[in-house]
Structure 1
Amino acid sequence: MLKIGAGTGFAGDRIEPALALVENGNIDYLILEGLAERTIALSQQQKRMNPDLGFNEYLEERIRLLLPSLLSHNVRLITNMGAANPTAAARKIQEVAEEMELDCKVAAVIGDDVLSKLNPHVIVHETQKPVEEYTPLISANAYLGAEAILPALESGADIIVTGRVADPSLFLAPMIHHYQWDQTNYQLLGQGTLVGHLLECAGQVTGGYFADPLYKPVDHLDNLGFPIASVKEDGTAILTKLRGTGGVVNAMTVKEQLLYEVHDPTSYFTPDCVADFSTVIIEEVGPDTVKVQGATGRKRPDTLKVSLGYHAGYLGEGEISYAGSTATERGQLAADILEKRLGGMGDEVKIDLIGSTSLHHGEHEGFRPYEVRLRVASLCPSRKEAVRIGHEVEALYTNGPAGGGGVRKRVEEVIGVVSTFMDRSLITSHSELLEESSWQQSN
């Protein structure tokens, strides 16, 4: 039976649970998912400044930790931590392997960067405006599917690094490869996509994002275990976690993750198929052990989603705190002052009292917080205008009201993210198996 472990659920996730999976999970594959829509646009910026960068900032650190155990336990790694530069990421992994005197075959999956192929007149999905209105464009990356990873798997690579690949596809690829599934058998692909979707956020399905101490208590989150899926040839899977780790795997955690980011459970579009999760059967078959089956699928879409990153301006922010019995009133007075001083900047200035009105508009009846933090933010067309936000907040120190403290201010470039679609026939992917290093050749 094929066993796949989910080692990370986002770019900055903890890595210790992944190491535990490799050393104690008896898994065949470890998947590190670490690429969000905005992440790859930021990575493209790094690549423009330095062609040897553009991959996940934690890649080297994580490879150094995992590589000896991956190789000694014969666990293959698939990760999208290549971000905007999978080739450079693969080279970095090879450098680490050579330094550690370890034999390691590394492959990079290329082809998701479609910026040069993008039609400027194509329509943006969210706004129905043409792409040319979102300039300057920083990135355009297509969501590749499992088929893009298969050649790298067939090459025998120990580590496969990709750029933008759909999250479930990272997990589906080893299922297709291991069981030699027919890629037009959409029922199998739908079931495999279900398994991938349940694993893609790692600790979410083992109780991390599920936990609420009053209504949904989860024990030992400080030692949260990450999930393992044991997948049969028919796509049926058993989800579990390592014994002795914190968290929980039950019908409720699985159902919450099943619906996560799924707008229509009957038509979940991926590059591999249109999955139907409406017929899924979730069954608890033991402690921290859940059986999932019953997903189906239909023919894959003729287009691929393309995530676009563009320069959207500069975010100016300023914060200051007030405490005591009149904290809310002084915070509101400060807000009123700033609203007048920054009024010429239009409707883009957002003013919140964190602890009172930032998440819920208006105070709850009878609730008077003893401390609030005023936050002012605005998306500005120029850095100069953005700097003004923090400057005006800082001036409240001596300009009133009384007792403000803990000022924080910052300015950052904002990367906007929108999406469009491209005919998959225009997108060509391929894998590059890096040549063995001189140290590997000599051994």
Structure 2
Amino acid sequence: MPTTQTFLLPDLGEGLTEAELLTWLVTVGDTVELNQNIAEVETAKASVELPSPYAGTVVALYADEGATIEVGRPFIDIAVEGASTDDTPTAPAPSQTPPVSKERTPVLVGYGVAEESTGRRRRRTNAATASAVDAVVTEQERPLAAPPVRFAAKQNGIDLAEVPATGDRGQVTRDDLEQYLARSAADPVPEPGAASGESARPGAAVLDEERTPIKGVRKHTADAMVRSAFTAPHVTEFVTVDVTPAVDLLAQLKESKHFRSVRITPLALVAKALLVALRSNPSLNSAWDEANQEIVTKRYVNLGIAAATPRGLMVPNIKNAHTLSLRDLAEALTTLTTTAKEGRTGPQDLSAGTITITNVGVFGVDSGTPILNPGEAAILCFGAIRRQPWEYRGEIALRSVTTLSLSFDHRLVDGEQGSRFLATIADILSDPVTLIALS
């Protein structure tokens, strides 16, 4: 006889406490296989797909698309043939991993199986069981509708209970929802404060607002930036440099047979210049360990690139960038930006960064005072390259000029170190042959 198993939302990495449900990939009544993807969720780190912990039939879904779910809360019920209720995998709490039996619990792709020293499972309490039953009842009382229809209704602020259902099982279909929206648009709700049939008074203020919940990547970014701004003493320095030789070099590289299959950009040269400059300025690639009262100087470089994505600002990083040639670095940058824009950046791509570049030049901005990525000592801001009059060999000439700015943590980097590092990058870009000499 089938036994219903409740899968609790797991901690998807680094002590995350919640996740937003983006899309259900299954519906009630579907048959699923072990490790089949059942939903896509977004954490403060990245968007990930959750695999099924069981093979069986979906009995209940505990949340609507767009909802935020706390780690450890019921996520999905699956009816499993011949299963024991003790086999239910529980999600780790933010600060610790609960016990799970290796012998009895199926191993989920992407998740290990942790053990407790006693080797015994923590059993669900009667209260937890009652909560799960209540949630199932609530699920069954809701109007029937496919997940995409629920999501569309939520996006438009529509209560599905108010939508006449014409589906063969009594469910609200997409056509039902679209017709309801069309009727609502034809018969708009009167403006608050105005009597039925009356128009707003001439000159009266019309409050046209849109409210967006602060969650997911945007919430994580906001928290991180506030924490960084009020924890690390920021200092920002600027230098304006003639990068005409670097622009000329890029034109030559694009014609070279070695770079014909590679998208080589000014950012690649700036990144390579930064990596070379770090060799003589290692303090810019360090971190402040408050707990141990130590400065951690890192001999590896995981180069972060600030990227504007549909999900908000993200800073994925290129692991061990210091080992890459200019060609390999250009390929890695292309892969990183493409993956970020497509929303495929994973948690592993966002962790363990050591220094960051933000390229505001792509937006036509000349410079800025960037905030440090938490845990890092420095961030370089690369501005727009503009053709403008410039002193060159004693005369005024039209040159390619850009402004670089460097923000750094003054606990880790003093003014001389920061200035030398920024000046070295500027020197390399003004005379890129230096890359050959120092690489």
Regarding TM over 0.5, the answer is: no
- Quick check: which has more Rg, 1 or 2? 2
Normalised by the length of structure 2, the TM-score is 0.25
Q: Which has the higher contact order (CA 8 A, sep 6+)?
A: 1
